[in-house]
Amino acid sequence: MLVNQLANETTAFRVLTDDQCELIYRAALEILARTGVAVHDDEGLQLLEAAGAEIADDSRARIPASAIEQALALTPASIRIVGRDPQQVCLLERDRVHFGTGSDCPFILDRETGQRRPYTYEDVRDAARVADALDNIGFHMSLGLTQGVPEMTYDRHQFLAMLEGTSKPIVQTAVDRQGLADQYEMACVIRGSAEAFELAPLLTLYAEPISPLTHMGHAVQKLLLAAEKRIPVIYTSCPMAGATAPVSGAGMLALALAETLSGVVMAQQKAPGAPIIAGGVVSVMDMRDVIYSYGAPELHLYSAAFTDVIKWVGLPMFSTAGCSDSKMLDQQAAIEAALSILFATLSGANLIHDLGYLEMALVGSYEMLALSDEVIGMVKQIARGIRVDEESLAVDIICEAGPGGQYLASDHTLKHFRSFWEPTTMLRHGFERWAAEGASTMGERVRDRVSEILQTHEPVPIPQDQMAEMKRIVAAADAQPQGRSE
């Protein structure tokens, strides 16, 4: 009998120790107590005051540590989000990883011309179809910003296009509180009732404070409605180290955590037990080109470190990968996507988004998404680790084969060889076959994969009565007077 044995069931990776995570958390508590956050919403301020915050005339709320810790005690550590297909589930709990696209890129690279152009409704629906067909994509964000529709109701059209294109769980943005209310109504049409939605949330909201330390009215209103309706909400910071946050990684993470935790207090005061997901995009400003970099190595490092912090705090984590600063699908895009996917997976973040992003989140690419899907397959294989037990040590098999033996015909090989990862778009065969089959590049094969999906893949259809009711909700929103939300 073996005793006192330690084993890694999977690969193990951390950036920060528990002590470092606690230091960042304590720094966030001090920031909230000393300087606080600006909250431009009356109800949000009232909720913070009820939690024990000191409210100043300039809409500044200084929040005591006790309020943070009470709110965290109420926030679920595990959240379940479900697609139109009830078998499509993302369970968000410690170290359980799911990948998905990003949202709201204004441009797409036209598949016929290669030119950069705005996204249409059809493009957003096709992005969802591609995500629906890819095995390693667990949830879907729009990838593109739906244009050619009324500006202040684009989110309803976008949600409808995503529902048409995929039966996987959906994460979506909203213009304002009413936009979220309409999308929630649409989701309840699919589920059948508000009670059924709460049991299997079809819609997860993405909303964010503004760094540094500012909560705008529309963000707070969406956060509070989500809490009330039990819509899971990703309330997530997107600071730029050196611009909207300290240049030091630890300082930026403390700031980002303070912003998220202040949102958690408002949500739990509104509706105790509201499902909140923390995290975000934590990267640097490139000081030479003045851009928010989606390919910087610091993004991968800081995201993994923030995952350590959020897991220490006890919340589900929203992270970033599969994105690039490159303007096209090229070697730079592949390198940046692969590194980010590797580190995000090993970190154990729950919802890993932004697959398919090019050009600093300005271009959403189906091909980049398909390439990332292949990389995820490789990284998942690495993350599974190495099994070490009597069966896998194979001592009897080795002794049976002996010196100079072979294992190809072994029953052990037959039993286990299917555990090897098999590529979809990468090639392993020899030069002669590759040349005879057209000498294709990886980029060409990824484009062919996307073309095949768009030609052949159809998601589970939406029943006609549900589709008609959702279109009615969208049309009613379009008919309202259009005014810009705060």
Quick: pLDDT tens for 402-439: 999 999 999 999 999 999 999 999 999 999 999 999 99
Statement: residue 30 has pLDDT above 80: yes
Residue 76 scores a pLDDT above 50? yes
pLDDT in tens, 383-402: 999 999 999 999 999 999 99
Same domain, 411 and 349: no
pLDDT at 112: 87
| 358 and 406 together in one domain | no
pLDDT at 236 > cutoff 70: yes
Q: What is the pLDDT of residue 114?
A: 87
Whether the Cβ atoms of residue 211 and residue 254 lie closer than 8 Å to each other: no
Rounded percentage of the chain residues whose pLDDT exceeds 90: 94
Q: What is the predicted pLDDT for the residue at 483?
A: 56
Residues 203 and 327 in one domain: yes
Q: Which residues contact 455 (CB under 8 A, 6 or more apart)?
A: none
pLDDT surpassing 50 at residue 485? no
Average pLDDT over residues 335-353: 97
Q: Report pTM.
A: 0.95
* 135 and 280 inside one domain: yes
| Residue 50 predicted with pLDDT over 60 | yes
Mean predicted confidence (pLDDT) in 220-234: 98
- CATH assignment of the domain containing 101: 3.20.20.480
Share of the chain above pLDDT 70, in %: 99
Q: 226 and 374 share a domain?
A: yes
Q: What is the pLDDT of residues 125-147, one digit of tens each?
A: 999 999 999 999 999 999 999 99
Tally Cβ neighbours within 10 Å of residue 113.
8
pLDDT band at 280 (very low <50, low <70, confident <90, very high): confident
Q: Which helix (H) or strand (E) holds 407?
A: none
Q: What is the pLDDT of residue 2?
A: 75
pLDDT reported for residue 5: 81
Domain count within the chain: 2
Rounded distance between C-alpha atoms, residue 304 and residue 322, angstroms: 14
Q: Are residues 139 and 97 in the same domain?
A: yes
How does pLDDT run across 162-188, given as a tens digit for each residue?
999 999 999 999 999 999 999 999 999
Residue 486 has pLDDT above 50, yes or no: no
> Which two structure tokens, joined as six digits, stand for 284?
């640097």
More confident residue, 290 or 187: 187
Q: Specify the pLDDT at position 418.
A: 93
Residues 228, 107, single domain; the answer is yes
Q: Helix, strand, coil % (nearest 5) of the chain?
A: 45, 15, 40
pLDDT of residue 348: 97
Alpha-carbon distance 32 to 259, whole Å? Answer: 8
Q: What is the pLDDT of residues 252-262, one digit of tens each?
A: 999 999 999 99
C-alpha–C-alpha distance, residues 241 and 238, integer Å: 10
Residues 395 and 250 in one domain: no
Is residue 247 included in any domain, yes or no?
yes
Q: Which of 269, 255, 351, 345 is nearest to 304 (CA)?
A: 345
Own/partner contacts of 250-254, CB < 8 Å, gap of 24 or more, are 250/20, 250/23, 250/24, 250/27, 251/27, 252/282, 252/302, 253/24, 253/282, 253/302, 253/305, 253/306, 253/309, 254/24, 254/27, 254/28, 254/31
Asked if residue 99 is part of any domain, the answer here is yes
